[in-house]
Amino acid sequence: MAAVAAAPNAAVVVQEEAVDRIKHPSGIVPQLQNVVATVDLGCRLDLKDIALHARNAEYNPKRFAAVIMRIREPKTTALIFASGKMYCRIVQRTGFEDVKMKEFKIQNIVGSCDVRFPIRLEGLAYSHGYFATYEPELFPGLIYRMKEPKIVLLIFVSGKVVLTGAKKREEIYTAFENIYPTLQEFRKREAAEAAGLQALTAPPAQAATPSSDKPATAVGTGAYVPPATPAYVPPATPGYQIPSMPAPTMQYRAPAPMAPPLPRMPNKQ
């Protein structure tokens, strides 16, 4: 089995040409960075023989069970497995005349672009929690798994976007156009821009009224400042007082005069 990774130069040319607004409404064309394809050569291969006779070939079976072949033009890396799946005419030149290219398939296309504005990843992850995964402690980017087309996007706070998992070039373009309005919704605004937006949305300053202690003023950002309202002070409530009771009066009464003692009678013998 073989996997082929190529970086096409045609993507750079498309980026420099005039952008088709019908095909790319956002005005941004993702550039293709990598293409992975597989092909079946239909025969068994001797990897040691290929590594000895082919240029730019590396084979270390203890580390990886395939020959790694790098081609300068076009810039391509091929992984050649003993089962006979790979992509390259060089194998035919090394003595394997039965080689035939069958079942050539593109397995993965990787593209990238820059929206040129910062993105609030926390808000995006919270609002699209069913599709998005954001764990900054493990990976600085937000992982967004789109259902249709089935593309995985890596979104970074700087505005860089990486799209992977496509089988066709059009899937990269469609996925980016689908996500671009969402990225604009969670655009991180600069401090000066946010202050200007606040000044536009703030109500106009009102003139001072006689009942207000201080007139309304507008600060440097244009925000309306209402007049200061004096704090409410409740009236003092008199405490409850116990009614005074008259002091009790005591009247002195002299004791009644005692009767004089009776005369003492003599004893009779």
Q: How confident is the model at residue 83 (pLDDT cuts 50, 70, 90)?
A: confident
Locate the domains of the chain by residue range.
1-27+35-107, 115-190
Q: How confident is the model at residue 142 (pLDDT cuts 50, 70, 90)?
A: very high
Higher pLDDT, 195 or 72: 72
Q: How confident is the model at residue 71 (pLDDT cuts 50, 70, 90)?
A: confident
Q: Please state the rounded mean pLDDT for residues 4-31.
A: 66
Q: Please state the rounded mean pLDDT for residues 204-228.
A: 56
Q: How confident is the model at residue 194 (pLDDT cuts 50, 70, 90)?
A: low
Q: How confident is the model at residue 88 (pLDDT cuts 50, 70, 90)?
A: very low
DSSP class of residue 17? Answer: S
H-run or E-run covering 152: strand 151-155
Sequence-ordered list of residues with C-beta below 8 angstroms from that of 114, at least 6 positions apart, any chain: 28, 158, 159, 160, 161
The share of the chain scoring above pLDDT 70, in percent, equals 61
Model pLDDT, residue 127:
92
CATH number corresponding to 1-27+35-107: 3.30.310.10
Rounded Cα distance between 29 and 157, Å, is 19
Q: Please state the rounded mean pLDDT for residues 56-69.
A: 88
Rounded Cα distance between 179 and 175, Å, is 6
Whether the predicted pLDDT of 188 surpasses 80: yes
List, for residues 164-187, the tens digit of each pLDDT value: 999 999 999 999 999 999 999 999
Q: How confident is the model at residue 114 (pLDDT cuts 50, 70, 90)?
A: very high
Average pLDDT of the chain, as a whole number: 76
Model pLDDT, residue 200:
63
Q: How confident is the model at residue 143 (pLDDT cuts 50, 70, 90)?
A: very high
Which class would CATH give 115-190?
alpha beta
Whether the predicted pLDDT of 133 surpasses 90: yes
With 0.75 as the threshold, say if the pTM is over it: no
- ω before 118 within 30° of 0 (cis)? no
Domains 1-27+35-107 and 115-190 share a fold: yes
Higher pLDDT, 195 or 132: 132
Whether the predicted pLDDT of 80 surpasses 60: yes
Model pLDDT, residue 218:
47
Rounded Cα distance between 119 and 128, Å, is 14
